Amino acid sequence: MAIVDSLEAMLTRGQDSALLRYGLGGEYLNLKQYDKAIEHLRQAVTLDAKYSAAWKLLGKALADAGHADQAIKAYEDGIRVAEEKGDKQAVKEMQVFLKRLRK
């Protein structure tokens, strides 16, 4: 948990950012602490609504936590954002994940 502790300490010091929240969300997801992962990833996309990687990871966290409907919404929003940015790889990945969820 050393990485999580370091990132949480940065947050406590007021260094909040979309990138920091993305990092925390990813680390908590790796630890299978889905509620914390979702909380930080939602904050990441709140801080930067055009952060397509955060949308993708939010969708994964929601899906892994068993919230399929919310994951579908996150992927749909993420695809829209990625398309607007021209982030073709993120669009393709999220479309695959979305297709799997809809089966």
The domain that holds 57 is classified in CATH as 1.25.40.10
Give how many domains the chain has, as a whole number. 1
What domain range includes position 23? 2-102
What secondary structure does DSSP assign to 51-83, as a single string?
Answer: -HHHHHHHHHHHHHTT-HHHHHHHHHHHHHHHH
Does the structure show a pLDDT above 70 at 1? no
CB 63, CB 55: distance < 8 Å: no
What global pTM score does this model have? 0.94
**For the segment 25-79, what is each residue's pLDDT rounded down to a tens digit?**
999 999 999 999 999 999 999 999 999 999 999 999 999 999 999 999 999 999 9
